[in-house]
Chain A
Amino acid sequence: MIPSVQGNAPDLLRVEGLVRHYRGDAGIFSRHRHVVPAVDDVSFTIGRGETLGLVGESGSGKSTVGRLIMRLDDADAGRIVFDGRDITDLRGQGLIDLRRRLQVVFQDPYASLNPRRRVGDIVGAGLRAHGVETSQSGLRDRVAGLFRRVGLDPGQLDRYPHEFSGGQRQRIGIARALSLEPELIVADEPITALDVSIQAQIINLLLDLQDETGLSYLFIAHDLGMVRHISHRVAVMRRGRIVEYGPVGAVFDDARHPYTRALISAIPIPDPDREASRRQIAGDDGEVASDAKLREVGRGHWVLA
C-alpha cells in the first residue's frame, strides 16, 4: 500500500517499499554480525513543483534515502520511479542522462567544492560534460547567468572557493545543481552548516527558484522549523521507517504518531514566555512492530500503526 499523492498531476518521483540494509559489526573480532536496516519499507511521492521535507534524527535513514534516490547507493529492495520510468537499476548512459534531471545540493559547502578549481569552472562542469554548451564564450555567459540567478556576482567567476563565505559557497553549490535545469533537487541538510543569519537567505533562494522554474525538492533536514517553512508535505523518519507522512499543516498541527509529537514538543521556542510554558511530550520507547503499516488518518495524512 503506497500513500498516494494529493493532486491529479502525475508524480515526478515515486518511491515504493525502499529497503537498504547495512551489515553492522561491533568490531573486527566480533562474532556477532547483525544486519542494520538503514531504510526499511519507505514509500513516498513528490509531485512537480512540490517540496517534500524529510525529517528525522541522526541515524534515522533520511540521508540514505537521498543517496538511494540519487543512485549513489543501491537499494536492496523496492522501486524508484522518476517521471514514470523505473530508475532503480539504471546503469551507464541511462544514469548519466538521469543526472541532468536529478541533482543534489550537499550539506557542507566547504567539502563539496573542489578547492583547486575556479568557481566558474565548478558551476559550468556539468554543462560541458553533458555537451549542453560547447563554446567557451557561450559557457561563460551561461555560468554568469547562473551566478546572477543565485545572487552571486558574475565578476567573481574566476575566483577560488576559499575566497567565498559559507553562504556564498552554498550558492555556488546551488548554481552547480541548477546548471542542467533539473526537475528534482535532493537538498541534503543544505543549511545546517550555515550561520543563522545566512540560513534564511538560502531558504528564500530555494523558494524563489522553485517559483521561477517549478522544480521539486526533496529537502532533508533535522531543523523542523525550516522544514515546516519550506515544505508542502513532510515525512518523519525514525529507525529507517517513515512513522508519519502528510501535508505540513496536518503533520505539525495534528501530529498523530507519539514520536512526531515528542519531536515537535522538544524544540525550544525562541521566546522566553512561550518557552516557559512549553509542555514537552515524552516520546515512545522507539520499538516499531514489524507488522506496523502506514494507515491513512486524514486526507493524505498517514501514520505508522
Chain B
Amino acid sequence: MTTPLLDVSDLTVRFSQDRGKVYAVNGVSYSLARGETLAVVGESGSGKSAHVLAMPGLLGTGRYTGAGAAVEVGGSAVFAGKELIGMPEAELRRLRGSRIGFVFQDPMSSLNPVLTVGEQIAEAITSHGVSPRTAEARALDLLDIVGIPEPRRRARHFPHQFSGGMRQRAMIAIGIACEPALLIADEPTTALDVLVQAQIIDLMKDLRRQLGMAMIWITHDMGVVASIADTVQVMYGGRIMERGPVRAVFHDTRSAYTWGLLNSLPDAEMHAPSLAGRRPRLRQIPGQPPDMTQVPVGDPFAPRNRFATHRCLSETPPLQQVADGAPGHLVAAWYDLPQVLRAVAHRDASPQALTEMGT
C-alpha cells in the first residue's frame, strides 16, 4: 500500500473562551489517499470544520473562532510526509496555497474587495515564486479553466462585479492556482442557489479529474455527499461516528446518528398531501445538539439515541471496522444497528413507530 497523502491521528482541538473551554474535536484519526475525495458531514459544533482547518493552521486566524479565543491543537497530522501540528507559521503559510488549496463558503469575505479578480489570482501564484508576467498569463488560463467567460475582460473586474456563482469560480481558481495535492472545500456551495450549486459541483468534479488532486469537502448536505464523495465521514460531538465508502455508509448504515440524518430527510417519492387527512411526519431526531463546553463522556449521540445502552452513556466507543461490512467501513457504536432495527421492525410492524426515534 502506498503512503497516504494525509495521515491524521488522535487530533484534538480545544477553544478557551471567557465562558470556559469548548471541546471541539475529541480524538479524530483517519487517512486520505492521493486523489481521494472525502466528504465530512456533520452539523454546527460537530467538529467537521474545526478539525480540518486546525491542520493547516487556519483556526488561530479568527475566521472560525471569536477574537481572543485561544486554540489548542493536539495529536498529529502528517501531510506528504511532514507533520503539520506544531509546524512554524512561515512554513505553514508556504504550504497553504501551494500544496494545500482552499475554497470557502462565502467568496465575498474571502476575496479582497479592492483588488481585481485577475490580480488576486496572479498574487496567489507569484507568492509562490513565479514571475509576474507568467502569473498574469496563468491567471487568465485559470479563469478559463473554471468557466469564467471572456477571461481577459473579467480579470480586470472587482469581486463585487461578479455574481455569487462567478465569485465562487474565482475562489476556486485561486484555490487550484498552484495545482495543490489537496483542496479543502468548506461548504463551498451552501450559500449558492441550487442551479449554481450544480454547476460548481460539476466544475469541481472536472478539476479533480484533470488535476488528480485529493479533496476534503465539508458539508451538511447528504445530497451533495452522495454526489461528490468517494469516502464519507460522519461527525458528531467532535468525533467520527461512522466512516467508509459512500455506498456502504448510505446503504449499510451502522451509526444511529447517520441513520437518523438520512431518515429525517423528506422522501421525494412521497405522495402529494391533500387538505383532508393527516400528512406524514418526518422521522425527526429528538433533542438538541450536545453542549460542547462539557467534558465529553461516552458516545456523544447517546442522549438523543433511543437505541443507546448504559454503556453508550458512560464509555466512548472506539471507531472500528464493521465486522461484516465493506472494507474501510468503520463505526463507533456499542450497539449493532442492523440488529436493533430488525428487532424494532419485528416488535412494531408499523413504520410509524419509527417516526420519533426517541423514547
Contacts and interface: CB of A to CB of B under 8 A. Distances in A.
Interface of A: 7, 47, 49-50, 57-58, 165-168, 195-201, 203-204, 207-208, 211, 222, 224-226, 228-229, 231-232, 247-250, 252-253, 262-263, 266-275, 280, 283
B288 A270 contact: no
Given A47-B275, A50-B275, A195 B247 contact: no
Main secondary structure on B side of the interface with A: loop
Interface in B182-237: 193-195, 197-198, 201, 220-227
B268 interface: yes
Interface pairs A-B: 4 shortest CB-CB: A249-B272, A268-B223, A195-B43, A270-B222
Interface in B40-94: 43-44
B274 interface: yes
B283 interface: yes
15 contacts: A196-B220, A197-B285, A200-B285, A201-B285, A211-B279, A225-B266, A226-B266, A228-B268, A229-B270, A248-B272, A266-B194, A266-B195, A268-B227, A269-B223, A272-B246
B289 interface: yes
Contacts of A228: 266, 268, 270
A267 B220 contact: no
B43 A197 contact: yes
Contacts of B284: 197, 200-201, 204
A49 B222 contact: no
A14 to B, nearest CB: 17
Given A267-B223, A268-B226, A275-B226, A283 B44 contact: no
Contacts of A165: 288-289
A213 to B, nearest CB: 14
Interface string B265-294: 111101111110011011111101100000
A270 B282 contact: no
A197 B260 contact: yes
A58 B195 CA distance: 11
A205 to B, nearest CB: 9
Contacts of A224: 194
Contacts, number: 124
Contact of B195 (A201, A232, A253, A262): A262
B275 A229 contact: no
Contact of A57 (B194, B288, B289): B194
A245 B262 CA distance: 29
A232 B194 contact: no
Contact of B43 (A196, A200, A266): A196
Nearest to B222: A270
Interface string B298-318: 000000100000000000000
B284 to A, nearest CB: 4
A131 B196 CA distance: 49
B159 to A, nearest CB: 15
Contact of B282 (A49, A166, A203, A267): A203
Nearest to A193: B44
B243 to A, nearest CB: 15
A246 to B, nearest CB: 10
Contacts of A263: 194-195
A200 B264 contact: yes
A231 B250 CA distance: 27
A239 to B, nearest CB: 13
A190 to B, nearest CB: 14
B265 A270 contact: yes
Contacts of A280: 198
Interface of B: 43-44, 164, 193-195, 197-198, 201, 220-227, 246-247, 250-251, 260-262, 264-268, 270-275, 278-279, 281-286, 288-289, 304
Contact of A268 (B201, B220, B264, B289): B201
Contacts of B304: 197
A166 B285 CA distance: 15
A203 B273 CA distance: 14
B18 to A, nearest CB: 14
B226 A271 contact: yes
A269 B227 CA distance: 8
A195 B190 CA distance: 13
Nearest to A251: B272
Contact of A272 (B197, B250, B268, B275): B250
A203 B164 CA distance: 29
B193 A57 contact: yes
Given A195-B44, A262-B195, A269-B226, A232 B283 contact: no
A48 to B, nearest CB: 9
A249 B274 CA distance: 10
A274 to B, nearest CB: 8
Contacts of A274: 226
Contacts of A167: 288
A247 to B, nearest CB: 6
Nearest to A211: B278
A50 B264 CA distance: 23
B261 A196 contact: yes
Contact of A222 (B194, B274, B281): B194
A168 B286 CA distance: 12
A167 B266 CA distance: 18
Nearest to A197: B285
A49 B275 contact: yes
Contacts of B272: 247-250, 252-253
